[in-house]
Amino acid sequence: MCRYAMSGPYKDIYACFDCRKSFKQTSRHDLAPEEYEKLENKCPQCASPMASMGKDFRTPKQSDLKQWKKVVTLYRHGITYHSCGCGAGYRPAELRELPEFLEQQFTRTRSEGERLLLRLAE
């Protein structure tokens, strides 16, 4: 059985890319849908909006700038760590592996122009 299949005590993990920290926030299973929709997940330290990273996200050390750059790049490409608890799937371990990973992820689904724009945005 998947780890998160039963709502249980698991909270959602949100990351603040400005502070390079993550915080567990109230899960959508703990609130009524209309209350959850109103919830703004802002960083408790700097009040910037935080990114929903999924329950399987492992926060890099705050001083590890390369890992944070990798996490931000993955997030901007729509790749997070959401899963049912069976694992979010392969993610590159190091920043240098990221271009090849992204190319494999988007080769079949993006046009040549979109791939060029993604490379220019990095």
Does residue 98 lie within any of the structural domains? yes
Q: Is residue 114 pLDDT above 80, yes or no?
A: no
Cα 119 to chain center, whole Å?
20
Asked if residue 83 lies in contact with residue 3, where contact means CB atoms within 8 angstroms, the answer is no
The pLDDT of residue 53:
92
Per-residue pLDDT tens for 32-52?
777 777 778 899 999 999 999
Give domain status of residue 1, yes or no: no
Any idea what the Cα angle at residue 45 is, between residues 32 and 78, rounded to 5°?
Answer: 60
Residue 5 lies in a domain: no
Q: Is residue 16 part of a domain?
A: yes
Q: Count CB neighbours of 102 within 10 A.
A: 20
Entry pTM: 0.74
Pairing of strands 51-52, 12-16: antiparallel
Residue 102 domain boundaries: 12-121
Going by pLDDT thresholds of 50, 70 and 90, the confidence category of residue 2 is low
**Counted domains in the chain:** 1
Contact 81, 57 (CB under 8 A): yes
Bridge-partner residues for 99, per DSSP?
Answer: none
**Residues 72, 17: contact at Cβ < 8 Å?**
yes
* 65 occurs within a structural domain: yes
Quick check: is 66 in a domain?
yes
Give buried/exposed letters for 58-92 (b at 16+ CB in 10 A, else e). ebbeeeeeebbebbebbbebebbbeeeeeebeebb
